Structure 1
Amino acid sequence: MELNATYTSLVAVGDSFTEGMSDRLPDGTYRGWADLLATRLAARTPDFRYANLAVRGKLMGQILDEQVDVAAAMKADVVTLVGGLNDTLRPKCDMGRVRGLLTEAVERLAPSCGRLVLMRSPGRQGPVMQRFRPRMEELFEHIEALAARHGALVVDLYGVPALGDQRLWDVDRLHLTGEGHRRVAEAVWQALGLDPEDDWRAPLPPAVRPGWMTRRAADARFAREHLGPWIGRRLTGRSSGDGLPAKRPDLLPYETPYGTAYGTPSEPPGA
């Protein structure tokens, strides 16, 4: 990897993780690691261009059908592809099909861009993670094999203890907070051969364990506001991303809307 390489364009492909949930801005929109990465790249490269095709809730087949060819046609310096985890969280998941869809996506994207970036995504510590861990690890092993075959980068977030810390996850227990997204942006930045700004793997300060009543109240809020609606969407075949457009569908010059070169991590909802 060339150190301090120049990248003039970035296209991000994926689901809610790449859309930026739950790094909420004051106007209610989401920022996220891809926006933060674009902000930093734009600060060092004149005429930098950025597109973010990600939409929350998308399965790997939808990412392939709706985003991959669009991204490939943009011929960007860097394309990031993160997908498949929504599939692994479904009660019935054909992992062979998911692997095949991901393979097809990588085969289309790798020849079209200067650098394809894949990820072993982070996971929150807890019982949900334990239940779906075998599927996730099967997906991640396939990602490693695809990267080796096609010369892609893999940003390994999965085994980093700090990114499993519950304090870096929103109240929905599925999406990173602003600080979590900031760390992912730094991880991708460093993987691209750019000078580190800080240690994204650094552990958080020791936590003060909340009391029993506080934990039960948080569990009740999670079930009411997030788990119940999520189950309802699964039962009815709906997705949180139904009808939503990509946040930045065109590869256009990027000027940060956040006022600084890197930005300050947003306050997570419900903090």
Structure 2
Amino acid sequence: MQTNITYSSFVAVGDSFTEGMSDRLPDGTYRGWADLLAGRLAAHNPGFRYANLAVRGKLIGQIVEEQTGPAAAMGADLVTLVGGLNDVLRPKCDVGRVCALLEEAVERLAPTCKRLVLMRSPGRRGPVFARFEPRMERLFSVIDELGARHDATVVDLFASQAVGDPRMWDEDRLHLNAEGHRRVAEAVWQALGHEPEADWDAPLPPPVPVGWIARRTSDVRFARQHLGPWIGRRLTGRSSGDGRAPKRAELLPYED
């Protein structure tokens, strides 16, 4: 862990996790862990600049093609790269290709910044999560190798029982809620060598038992509002990020 490092600029690269879904603000936009981290860094460095190029639904190939070039050209002190999970959660996935593309992204970004941060992404614990766990483990082993090879910081969120707790996730069961994002921001903050402000991995209290009817009602609502549309996009080759621009496409002074 590095300490006493000052970062004057930060570029976030990735998909919906880094865009900030589903940490909703009152105006309906999303904040997320990257915005929270940028706010903390800006508070310690006047003139701090921030860009967030992440767009929901992006696959690792799209991240490489659309985001790594602009991010590298910005020459920021700090770059975070999180991607590949949208790929491995699809029914059919060439994990080897995903890992190769992730390696390409790291090789483009690592030489351009003081500190590159990679992550072992969190997953919502449950039966669906278990189906894809072998793929995720393979992806994460490559992330560990790339981190060691390029002297990048790897933040292990996957191992956290707290962040994986369903109560940390939005009703769509794919994206962290506000508290989940807050914990991720704290985890990255500490990984960069800053003094802890909270225990990001603190266990949650025992869950309150939920009755069978309430569980089934929640499952039906989830299937209708989230799972069905997600399957529809997969079948038609569409993405939730089609035509969507990054929320912070330029490296500009941070404004909350």
TM-score range, shorter chain: over 0.9
Report deviation, 1:255: 1.8
What SS class does the counterpart of residue 26 from structure 1 fall into? Answer: coil
Report deviation, 1:207: 1.2
The residue number in structure 2 matching 1:19 is: 19
Amino acid paired to 2:20: G
1:132 and 2:132 correspond: yes
What SS class does the counterpart of residue 117 from structure 2 fall into? Answer: strand
The residue number in structure 2 matching 1:159 is: 159
Contact residue 4 and residue 195 of structure 1 kept, 8 A: no
1:66 and 2:98 correspond: no
In 2, the alpha carbon distance for the partners of 1:206 and 1:91 equals 33
Cα deviation digits, residues 131-180 of structure 1 (max 9, x gap): 10010110000000011111100000001110111100000000000000
Equivalent pairs counted in the alignment come to 256
What SS class does the counterpart of residue 251 from structure 2 fall into? Answer: strand
Given the two structures, how large is their TM-score scaled by the length of structure 2?
0.99
In 2, the alpha carbon distance for the partners of 1:208 and 1:219 equals 17
Amino acid paired to 1:123: G
In 2, the alpha carbon distance for the partners of 1:53 and 1:80 equals 10
In 1, the alpha carbon distance for the partners of 2:75 and 2:184 equals 24
The residue number in structure 2 matching 1:181 is: 181
In 1, the alpha carbon distance for the partners of 2:243 and 2:3 equals 41
In 1, the alpha carbon distance for the partners of 2:142 and 2:89 equals 17
Cα deviation digits, residues 49-85 of structure 1 (max 9, x gap): 0000000000000000000010001111100000000
Alignment of 1:53-132 (within 5 A): 53-132=53-132
The residue number in structure 2 matching 1:144 is: 144
In 2, the alpha carbon distance for the partners of 1:212 and 1:37 equals 39
What SS class does the counterpart of residue 252 from structure 1 fall into? Answer: strand
Unpaired segments ≥5 residues, structure 1: 257-271
1:50 and 2:35 correspond: no
In 2, the alpha carbon distance for the partners of 1:74 and 1:196 equals 29
Given the two structures, how large is their TM-score scaled by the length of structure 1?
0.93
1:240 and 2:218 correspond: no
Amino acid paired to 2:120: R
The residue number in structure 1 matching 2:226 is: 226
Amino acid paired to 1:96: G
The residue number in structure 2 matching 1:265 is: none
Unpaired segments ≥5 residues, structure 2: none
Structure 1 segments, 4+ long, off by >3 Å, are: none
In 1, the alpha carbon distance for the partners of 2:92 and 2:194 equals 40
Amino acid paired to 1:104: E
